[in-house]
């Protein structure tokens, strides 16, 4: 019935129950201006600087062996941490949403710990534990295992900071969905795994993907914690964010901004997918 | 015996949810577990299903001890209060679920599954909904799909948790009768939990009244209604007027012609239709007046008040057929006399003595 629309003059409405028109416009313009100056402009700068010396310079800096090594290491780190965080997140959310036990609220607080600790401290913790002067440092060096200033340290530091993402997303979701559908599946003769894969997983899949996505963005973009444990060994222990910093410090602006454009691209993709997942999850919960 | 419970007890922390429950349910019965909320009825149902573990006691299904078996291996059908339909599956897939998760050696072929699902859908008269999703169904339809899903695995017992609790009043009435007829057709032992005594009376062939984790009485609806074994059952099932003789209610009974020597701890429960009312002329000394009355369809409910009696002011309810009420020609404020046709007596001072409940006829 779109043809019949209320004949309410909007000016009267805004005068009686809302703010005057100029307030609305001023607020919208202000918001757009802030977003423009602080978000769009820097993002545009990244692209402008990356292409400052043309396509070929952009392409060659991205195919530089050090850049390629940094990209590979970043992907490897994400490939290890994201599945681990996902498994941890699902188990923790399952335990918290399904069982009553002593210390449950303490556990929820602990899961949030990485959010409240500065990433630099997270990196430092691993240096103190596994570094040459650390608690276990001598044992590891005796056995010729390198953790700090090597890939394992980077993975550990990334794990620490990405730890809560999936769990945080799933706990409220699983609490809201409840346990009844799973009980119904069990009463119909399904095994625990069948119940998980056929009932639980389909119910939480959008929330799970959402958590995985945020976790992945953080894993690839993490700077602070990784910076402390990496040692900045070019071509070996530089992840993409570290590589950007090193390049920039060496006045290789095209190189720095070319790499930065990759992370910016990841951010944009993340944003789009995130919006889609949020929408899907809302649809599912409505059902 | 289809279901046997022996000495079932369950605690939640300091709260004792079930206390030494012993119950036997014969094959093919349709049993209502009836009680106020918090009486432990849902917990008991979940213990039978294996969704909850009793702290002590054993559960036997068809003679097999299943106390330590998981819900998966008990071959029960369970219908949840909010149906718990799988929201991401169609109605068809919901019903087929129990058949499809069987280990491959027991799993019927897809053609057999399809036939079985459509048979069940026609049994619940909803075949036309097979490709819908749960959120596209009404409450009553979801209920019937949940029932069909539970029946798909041919359970030895069917357990329903508050099956009509989440439905509109009119849908509820239809479904009650439908469930009773369906039970006649299938003849599978069925237990349902309810807090609604009317529902229990209407649907069940046997009623188990629970209160505070204990069984107060079990029997057919008529047994429970006509000879309640204690004051809780009498109060919980149907309407009743309670006369507590210690609190001065004996004046009521005196006015109805009943005199007691020793009123200690005695209460009398009188159903509204067991109270007879007669009109008195204005000049007479009766202290009881007709305060108000309501038309309940075939019967009229009278609100009687005893303002003139010594003792606490109190309202009691009587019911009579509307024809009879018309003949009496009563009006609000008229003086009446009453007589009690039938009362149940309970001695609360000695609640454990079985003789506490006695029938009394005038």
Residue in B68, B53, B60 with CA at minimum distance from that of residue B27:
B60
pLDDT tens-digit profile of A25-42? 999 999 999 999 998 898
Question: What's the confidence (pLDDT) of residue B337?
Answer: 82
Which tokens hold the place of B158?
A: 């069917």
Categorize the per-residue pLDDT at A211 as very low, low, confident or very high, splitting at 50, 70 and 90.
very high
pLDDT band at B113 (very low <50, low <70, confident <90, very high): very high
Determine, for residues A287 and B51 on separate chains, whether the beta-carbon distance falls below 8 Å: no
Judge: A190–B97 Cβ closer than 8 Å, yes or no. yes
Question: What region does B329 belong to: left with phi over 0, alpha with psi -120 to 50, or beta?
Answer: left
If one counts every other C-beta atom within 10 angstroms of the C-beta of residue A118, the result is: 11
Q: Give yes or no for residue B265 having a pLDDT over 80.
A: no
Whole-number Å distance between alpha carbons of B255 and B308: 12
Side-by-side strand order, sheet with B214-219: B76-79, B157-161, B189-194, B30-34, B206-211, B214-219
Segment A108-135 mean pLDDT: 87
B101 touches chain A (CB under 8 A): yes
Kindly state whether B327 is in contact with chain A, defined as any CB-CB distance less than 8 angstroms.
no
The CB-based long-range contact list for B117-123 (8 Å cut-off, 24+ gap) reads B117/B92, B117/B152, B120/B95, B120/B148, B120/B151, B120/B152, B121/B91, B121/B92, B121/B95, B121/B148, B123/B148, B123/B151, B123/B182, B123/B185
Q: Give the single-character DSSP code of B108.
A: P
How far is residue A240's CA from residue A258's CA, in Å, rounded to a whole number? 11
Q: What's chain B's average pLDDT?
A: 86
Contact assignment for A186 to B70 by CB distance below 8 Å: yes
pLDDT-derived band at B33, boundaries 50, 70, 90: very high
The token pair at B11 is 């605690």
Confidence of residue B209 (pLDDT cuts 50, 70, 90): very high
Strands B30-34 and B206-211: parallel
Q: Check CB contact under 8 Å for A185 and B101.
A: yes
The answer to whether the CB atoms of A189 and B80 lie below 8 A apart is: no
Residues of chain B in contact with residue A194, where contact means CB-CB under 8 angstroms, are 101
Does residue B59 belong to the interface with chain A, where contact is any CB pair within 8 Å? no
- Band (pLDDT 50/70/90 cuts) for residue B22 is very high
Please give the Cα distance from B153 to B113 (Å, whole number): 11
Whether residue A4 has pLDDT greater than 60: no
pLDDT tens track for B193-205: 999 998 999 999 9
Alpha-carbon gap, residue B115 to B109, rounded angstroms: 10
Residue A166 has pLDDT above 90, yes or no: yes
Q: Give the count of beta carbons closer than 10 Å to the beta carbon of residue B269.
A: 22
pLDDT higher than 80, residue A6: no
Q: Does B76 touch chain A (CB under 8 A)?
A: yes
Q: Is residue A241 over pLDDT 60?
A: yes
pLDDT band of B173, cuts 50, 70, 90: confident
Is the CB of A181 less than 8 angstroms away from the CB of B86?
Answer: yes
When pLDDT is cut at 50, 70 and 90, the band that residue A159 belongs to is very high
- Could you tell me the two tokens for B231? 């004051």
Q: What is the pLDDT of residue B269?
A: 87
CA B316, CA B94: separation in Å to the nearest integer? Answer: 51
Here the ipTM equals 0.82
pLDDT digits (tens, 9 = 90+) for B271-280: 998 888 888 7
* Contacts with A123 (C-beta within 8 Å, 6 or more apart), sequence order: A157, A224, A225, A226, A227, A228, A229
Lowest mean pLDDT among A100-114, B68-82, B297-311: B297-311
pLDDT at A136: 80
Q: Report helix, strand or coil for B139.
A: helix
Q: Which residues contact B234 (CB under 8 A, 6 or more apart)?
A: B228, B240, B269, B344, B346, B357
Report the pLDDT value the prediction gives residue A234, as an integer from 0 to 100: 82
In the structure, what pLDDT confidence band is assigned to residue A15 with cuts at 50, 70 and 90?
low
| Residues A87, A208, A95: CA angle, nearest 5 degrees | 50
Please report the pLDDT score of residue B238 as a whole number.
84
What element of type H or E holds B281?
none
Q: Angle between the A151-162 and A119-130 helix axes, to the nearest 10 degrees?
A: 140
Q: How near does any CA of chain A get to the CA of B71, in Å?
A: 5
Q: Which residue has the tokens 């423009």?
A: A36
- Model confidence at B2, in pLDDT bands (50, 70, 90)? confident
Look-up of token digits 């009123």:
B263
The predicted pLDDT at position A287 comes to 59
Structure confidence at residue B34 (pLDDT): 94
The alpha-carbon gap from A108 to the nearest alpha carbon of chain B, in Å, equals 23
Residue B355, pLDDT score: 42
Cα A22 to the center of its chain, rounded Å? 38
As a whole number, the mean pLDDT across chain A is 87
Pairing of strands B15-25, B3-12: antiparallel
pLDDT of residue A237: 87
pLDDT, residue B353, reads 39
Check whether A285 has a pLDDT greater than 80. Answer: no
Mutation to test the B interface, candidates A98, A176, A188, A198, most B Cβ within 10 Å: A188
- Region B28-54 average pLDDT: 93
Give the distance from residue B142's alpha carbon to the nearest chain A alpha carbon, in angstroms: 13
Distance CA A92, CA A84 (A): 12
CA–CA min distance B212, chain A (Å)? 24
User: How does residue B352 score in pLDDT terms, banded at 50, 70 and 90?
Assistant: very low
| Most confident region among A139-148, B24-33, B257-266 by mean pLDDT | B24-33
Q: Determine the pLDDT at residue A1.
A: 39
Q: How far is B108 from chain A (nearest CA, A)?
A: 14
Nearest-CA distance A287 → chain B (Å): 5
**Rounded CA gap, A191 and B72, in Å?**
7
What's the pLDDT band for B311 if we cut at 50, 70, 90?
low
- Closest CB from A181, A189, A191 relative to B98: A189
pTM: 0.80
Average pLDDT for residues B177-190, to the nearest whole number?
90
Structure tokens belonging to residue A35: 């977003």
Tell me the average pLDDT across A100-107: 89
- What number is the average pLDDT over the span B205-221? 93
Contact B87 A190 (CB under 8 A): no
Residue B312 is predicted with a pLDDT of 57
pLDDT (average), residues B8-20: 91
Bigger pLDDT: B330 vs B222: B222
Winning range, highest mean pLDDT, from A5-19, A132-146, B62-76, B270-284:
B62-76
Strand, coil or helix: B297: coil
At residue A16, the pLDDT reads 61
Percent of chain A residues topping a pLDDT of 90: 45
Q: Which of B76, B85, B102 sits opposite A187 (nearest CB)?
A: B76
Which pLDDT score is estimated for A98? 86
* CB contact B350 to A (< 8 Å): no
> Which of A189, A199, A202 is the closest to B153 by Cβ?
A189
């Amino acid at each position: 019935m779109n043809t019949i629309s209320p004949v309410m003059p909007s000016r009267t409405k805004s005068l009686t129950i809302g703010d005057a028109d100029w307030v609305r416009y001023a607020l919208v313009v202000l918001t757009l201006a802030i977003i423009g100056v602080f978000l769009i402009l820097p993002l545009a700068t990244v692209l402008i600087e990356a292409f400052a010396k043309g396509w070929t310079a952009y392409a060659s800096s991205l195919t530089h062996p050090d850049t390629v090594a940094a990209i590979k290491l970043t992907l490897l780190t994400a490939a290890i941490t994201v599945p681990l965080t996902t498994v941890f997140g699902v188990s923790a959310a399952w335990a918290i949403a399904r069982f009553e036990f002593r210390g449950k609220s303490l556990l929820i607080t602990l899961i949030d710990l990485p959010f409240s600790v500065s990433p630099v401290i997270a990196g430092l913790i691993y240096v103190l534990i596994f570094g040459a002067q650390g608690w276990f440092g001598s044992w590891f060096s005796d056995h010729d295992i390198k953790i700090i200033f090597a890939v394992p340290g980077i993975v550990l530091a990334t794990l620490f900071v990405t730890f809560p993402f999936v769990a945080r997303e799933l706990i409220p979701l699983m609490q809201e969905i409840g346990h009844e559908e799973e009980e119904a599946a069990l009463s119909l003769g399904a095994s625990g795994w069948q119940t998980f894969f056929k009932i639980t997983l389909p119910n939480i899949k959008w929330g799970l993907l959402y958590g995985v996505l945020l976790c992945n963005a953080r894993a690839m973009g993490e700077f602070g914690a990784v910076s402390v444990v990496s040692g900045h060994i070019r071509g070996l222990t530089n992840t993409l964010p570290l590589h950007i910093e090193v390049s920039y410090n060496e006045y290789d602006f095209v190189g720095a901004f070319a790499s930065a454009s990759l992370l910016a691209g990841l951010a944009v993709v993340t944003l789009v997918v995130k919006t889609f997942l949020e929408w899907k999850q809302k649809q599912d919960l409505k059902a | 015996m289809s279901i046997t419970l022996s000495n079932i007890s369950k605690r939640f922390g300091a709260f004792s949810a079930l206390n030494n429950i012993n119950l036997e349910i014969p094959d093919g019965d349709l049993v209502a577990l009836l009680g106020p909320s918090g009486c432990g009825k849902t917990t008991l149902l979940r213990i039978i299903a294996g969704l909850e573990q009793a702290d002590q006691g054993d559960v036997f299904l068809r003679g097999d001890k299943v106390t330590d078996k998981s819900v998966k291996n008990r071959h029960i059908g369970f219908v949840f209060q909010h149906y718990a339909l799988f929201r991401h599956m169609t109605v068809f897939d919901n019903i087929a679920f129990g058949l499809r998760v069987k280990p491959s050696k027991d799993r019927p072929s897809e053609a057999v599954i399809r036939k079985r699902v459509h048979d069940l859908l026609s049994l619940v008269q909803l075949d036309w909904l097979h490709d819908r999703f749960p959120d596209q169904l009404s409450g009553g339809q979801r209920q019937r799909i949940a029932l069909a899903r539970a029946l798909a695995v041919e359970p030895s017992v069917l357990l329903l948790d508050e099956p009509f609790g989440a439905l509109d009043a009119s849908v509820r009435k239809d479904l009650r009768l439908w469930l009773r007829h369906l039970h006649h057709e299938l003849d599978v032992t069925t237990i349902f939990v309810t807090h609604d005594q009317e529902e229990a009376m209407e649907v069940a062939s046997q009623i188990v009244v629970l209160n505070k984790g204990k069984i107060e009485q079990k029997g057919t609806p008529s047994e429970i209604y006509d000879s309640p074994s204690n004051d809780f059952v009498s109060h919980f099932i149907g309407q009743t007027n309670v006369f507590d003789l210690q609190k001065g209610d004996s004046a009521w009974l005196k006015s109805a012609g009943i005199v007691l020597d020793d009123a200690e701890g005695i209460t009398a429960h009188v159903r509204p239709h067991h109270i007879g009312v007669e009109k008195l002329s204005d000049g007479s000394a009766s202290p009881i007046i007709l305060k108000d009355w309501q038309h309940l369809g075939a019967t009229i409910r009278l609100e009687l008040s005893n303002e003139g009696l010594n003792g606490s002011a109190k309202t009691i309810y009587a019911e009579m057929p509307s024809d009879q009420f018309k003949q009496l020609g009563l009006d609000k404020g008229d003086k009446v006399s009453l007589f009690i046709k039938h009362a149940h007596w309970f001695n609360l001072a000695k609640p454990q003595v079985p003789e506490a409940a006695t029938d009394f006829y005038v």
